[in-house]
Amino acid sequence: MEMVNEIKKLVDAKKEAFLHAGDLVWEYAEIGFKEFQSAKALTDVLKAEGFAVEEGVAGIPTAFVASWGEGKPIIGLLGEYDALPALKHAAGDPVESSEIVSENGHGCGHNLLGAGALGAAVAVKDYMQAHGLKGTIRYYGCPGEEFGSGKMFMARAGLFDDLDAAFTWHGGAYNAITADHSLANLCAYFKFKGRTSHAAGSPHLGRSALDACELMNVGCNYLREHILPDERIHYAYTDVGGSAPNVVQDHACVFYYVRSPRLYQVLDLYERVKDVARGAALMTGTQLEIVLNDGLCDYVPNDTLSKLLYESFCEAGGPKFSEEEKALAAEFAKTFDPAAVADKARTLAAHFGPEVAEKYKDQILVEDIFPYHASDMISSGSTDVGDVSYCAPTAQMNVSTWALCTTGHTWQVTAQSGSDIGRTGTVKAAEVLALASIKAMQNPELLEKAKEEWKKATGGKYVCPVTDDVQPAL
């Protein structure tokens, strides 16, 4: 416990700096690849702490790598700081207001992710200095997780290749190690070009790009019956060609996410979706342009590092929330959809067992740490942490930063991520990540075991899901 207490003191000594940086990121609420002020808020702290910061890496102005120390082992901590569109909300306000949801907001709590990893990196540096510990601690500033897949481009640039271990975290409704696999994802625009005409006077002369989009969507909806149960296809219109019904739309675009359990599977499904789009173009006499925007690999959790992270979490203990924070969380809980509450109970039972679901069904803020076990389950979401996990052994954890049953990508997440609830969880994340990083540095045998497991699970070679001509969508 001596090491645990020392790390807690080191985190506590610098918490005002990294929490302030997180608050600034929350206020800036910049979306993917536009996080200029957010990146600066984080790099300012790192530079002040003596880290060597390389900015604008992988062709992304808001991506950076900050390093302290030298030589092996090299431990990486991943930080995120991008927001989501249309999710602005007042910090700590449990009352929904339709008047302030049109701007960006941290509806996934990435302001906390960047700050927690920052606190951990500085604490590790301070511990290394105090004890003469050899090695390198790196903070990776990873932009565009929500839109753009920043880590994928960073992985393609080889920035994670020499890591011995990577640790990261995410805010959430409970405390647990992320043991599930995620879905690989390819994101592409399907742009159709037709010919305009008077929809009533000369419809035979028109070729509708909007019809092509709709036929593509119909075709993909029929395709759903013949894909893997865990695969997902979803879309959004980015261009509907205009607002006049009496004009045949000569341009339209639909943006698709195609997800599968493994990278090789999503590459296959993507080809099938492209065939559907080509068919829609043939049926409508339109021209088709396919623009692959980005993509990401499935997440491969490393059991060796996950066990280390769980051990560190148990030693540091879960977050302890004040009575005021619990009361605030209870106010947020009043806003939850009953269907979402029921769905969360089913999710807890599936991931952690019916006993855990029953024990915590009536709790608002979870302070306990859920039990860890390696899992073959596949979550329904995607993350570019998956690309890192194909480059180096990787482990991830969830820390309570909002009320149980909070649904991601909502105004409730934005509001809680700007409150003391989120800050309390962020400090705990910094403690656990720092403790796990130092333990990993001190245990070369464990790192070798993690590496062997990683090689067996991934083949030991990163394969980028997109071709070299695909560049960050700046």
Q: What is the pLDDT of residue 412?
A: 95
First to last CA, the chain: 46
pTM of the predicted model as reported, rounded to 2 decimal places? 0.94
Q: Residue 207: what residue type?
A: R
Give the model's confidence band at 144: pLDDT under 50 very low, under 70 low, under 90 confident, else very high. Answer: very high
Q: How is residue 388 annotated by DSSP?
A: H
Cα gap 186→169, rounded to integer Å: 23
Write out pLDDT tens, residues 154-176: 999 999 999 999 999 999 999 99
Among the candidates 248, 274, 296, a domain finishes at 296
Is position 471 within any domain?
Answer: no
Same-domain status, 277 and 263: yes
Average pLDDT estimate for 330-353: 86
Beta bridge partners of 68: 137
Same-domain status, 268 and 334: no
Tell me if 155 sits within 8 A of 90, measured CB to CB. no
Same-domain status, 204 and 258: yes
Q: What is the pLDDT of residue 97?
A: 78
Average pLDDT estimate for 36-41: 98
Is position 466 within any domain?
Answer: no
Is position 247 within any domain?
Answer: yes
The 3-state DSSP composition of the chain as helix, strand, coil percent (nearest 5) reads 45, 20, 35
* Residues ≥6 apart with Cβ < 8 Å to 234: 256, 257
Q: How far is CA 151 from CA 65, 109, 266, 371, in A?
A: 12, 17, 18, 29
Tell me if 80 sits within 8 A of 170, measured CB to CB. no
DSSP per-residue letters across 222-279: HHGGGS-TT-EEEEEEEE-S-S-TTB---EEEEEEEEEESSHHHHHHHHHHHHHHHHH
Helix (H, G, I), strand (E, B) or coil at 220: helix
Write out pLDDT tens, residues 48-58: 999 999 999 99
Cα gap 315→328, rounded to integer Å: 28
Burial 325-337 (b: 16+ CB within 10 A, else e): beebbeebbeebe
Same-domain status, 343 and 215: no
Same-domain status, 357 and 393: yes
Same-domain status, 414 and 285: no
Q: How is residue 30 annotated by DSSP?
A: P
Among the candidates 296, 312, 347, a domain finishes at 296
Q: What integer best gives the mean pLDDT of the chain?
A: 95
Is position 393 within any domain?
Answer: yes
Average pLDDT estimate for 299-318: 98
Q: Tell which phi-psi region holds residue 132, choosing left (phi > 0), alpha (psi between -120 and 50) or beta.
A: left
% of the chain with per-residue pLDDT over 70: 99
Which tokens in the block code for residue 151? 């880590």
Same-domain status, 154 and 208: no
Among the candidates 270, 296, 322, a domain finishes at 296
Q: What is the pLDDT of residue 100?
A: 62
Q: Residue 160: what residue type?
A: F
Average pLDDT estimate for 434-452: 98
* Residues ≥6 apart with Cβ < 8 Å to 455: none
Other beta carbons within 10 angstroms of residue 463's beta carbon come to 14
Statement: residue 131 has pLDDT above 90: yes
Q: What is the pLDDT of residue 101?
A: 63
Other beta carbons within 10 angstroms of residue 37's beta carbon come to 15
Which tokens in the block code for residue 460? 């030991």
Spell out where 100-231 has E strands: 135-142, 165-172, 176-177, 184-193
Q: What is the pLDDT of residue 98?
A: 64
Is position 464 within any domain?
Answer: no
Beta pairing, strands 165-172 & 176-177: unpaired
Peptide bond into 85 cis (omega under 30): no
Tell me if 198 sits within 8 A of 136, measured CB to CB. no
Same-domain status, 170 and 189: no
Domain range for 253 = 184-296
Statement: residue 338 has pLDDT above 90: no
Q: Which CATH number characterizes residue 150's domain? A: 3.40.630.10
Average pLDDT estimate for 230-244: 96
Same-domain status, 148 and 207: no
Q: Which CATH number characterizes residue 279's domain? A: 3.30.70.360
Cα gap 43→50, rounded to integer Å: 11
Q: How many domains does the chain have?
A: 2
What are the two backbone dihedrals, phi and then psi, of residue 442, each rounded to the nearest 5 degrees? -85, 0
Average pLDDT estimate for 462-474: 92
What are the two backbone dihedrals, phi and then psi, of residue 367, each rounded to the nearest 5 degrees? -105, -25
Is position 285 within any domain?
Answer: yes
* Residues ≥6 apart with Cβ < 8 Å to 254: 189, 190, 213, 216, 217, 235, 236, 237, 238
Write out pLDDT tens, residues 205-214: 999 999 999 9
Helical (H) or strand (E) element with 25? helix 2-28
Average pLDDT estimate for 358-382: 89
Q: What is the pLDDT of residue 99?
A: 61
Spell out where 43-158 has E strands: 52-55, 64-70, 74-80, 135-142
Is position 474 within any domain?
Answer: no
Q: What is the pLDDT of residue 342?
A: 81
Same-domain status, 318 and 286: no
Which tokens in the block code for residue 444? 């070369």
97 versus 323: which is more confidently predicted?
323
Same-domain status, 439 and 310: yes
Q: How is residue 105 annotated by DSSP?
A: B
Tell me if 258 sits within 8 A of 269, measured CB to CB. yes
Of 52, 73, 166, nearest to 128 (Cα)?
73
Average pLDDT estimate for 118-129: 98
Q: Residue 275: what residue type?
A: D
What are the two backbone dihedrals, phi and then psi, of residue 176, each rounded to the nearest 5 degrees? -165, 160
| CB neighbour class for 136 (10 Å; exposed up to 12, middle 13-18, buried from 19) | buried
Tell me if 437 sits within 8 A of 124, measured CB to CB. yes
Q: Which of 71-75, 254-258, 336-340, 464-468 has the lowest mean pLDDT?
A: 336-340
Write out pLDDT tens, residues 23-35: 999 999 999 999 9
What are the two backbone dihedrals, phi and then psi, of residue 161, each rounded to the nearest 5 degrees? -65, -30
Is position 473 within any domain?
Answer: no
Same-domain status, 169 and 193: no
